[in-house]
Each structure stands twice: as structure tokens, then as C-alpha cells.
Amino acid sequence: MLNWKVLEKAGLISKDYEFSKEDRRLLESLSEDEVEALVSIKKKLGENFFRRNTCGAYPPIGIVF
């Protein structure tokens, strides 16, 4: 499965969000381990954490580095 689809299924990317070709390429450059880590972090911290601590709309990407 494509990385962006995995992230979408995990709720890290909004289904109706349109990434540029460059951003989609960057998402696809992530390794399987990196994608799994993002999904794991979201699960561990939970939805409420991201709703409280992200700027703007959550998702498209609900991770703040």
C-alpha cells in the first residue's frame, strides 16, 4: 500500500486533502519503518493530544515536530 494511503487510513491525513506532487513524492520516500512509527506515535498519544497541540486543522498531518 502507498505510504500516503497508510497514513490516510490511520487518520494522519484527511481523505479530501490534496498534496502537491512534490509532497506526495516526499511521503512516498518514507521507509516502511518511518510510516509505522508515525502511526504508532498517533496511536500512543491519541486523538485528543493532537487536537489540543496542533496548529490549524487536524489532520492533514497531525504530527508536530
- Convert the pLDDT of each residue in 6-63 to its tens digit: 998 888 888 877 888 998 899 999 999 999 999 999 899 888 887 777 666 555 554 4
Transcribe 10-50 into DSSP letters: TTSS-TT----HHHHHHHHTS-HHHHHHHHHHHHHH-HHHH
- Cα separation, 20 vs 30, whole angstroms: 16
Long-range CB pairs of 18-23, under 8 A, 24+ apart, other chains included = 19/60
pTM passes above 0.85: no
| Cβ-Cβ contacts under 8 Å for 56 (sequence gap 6 or more) | none
- Cα separation, 2 vs 50, whole angstroms: 24
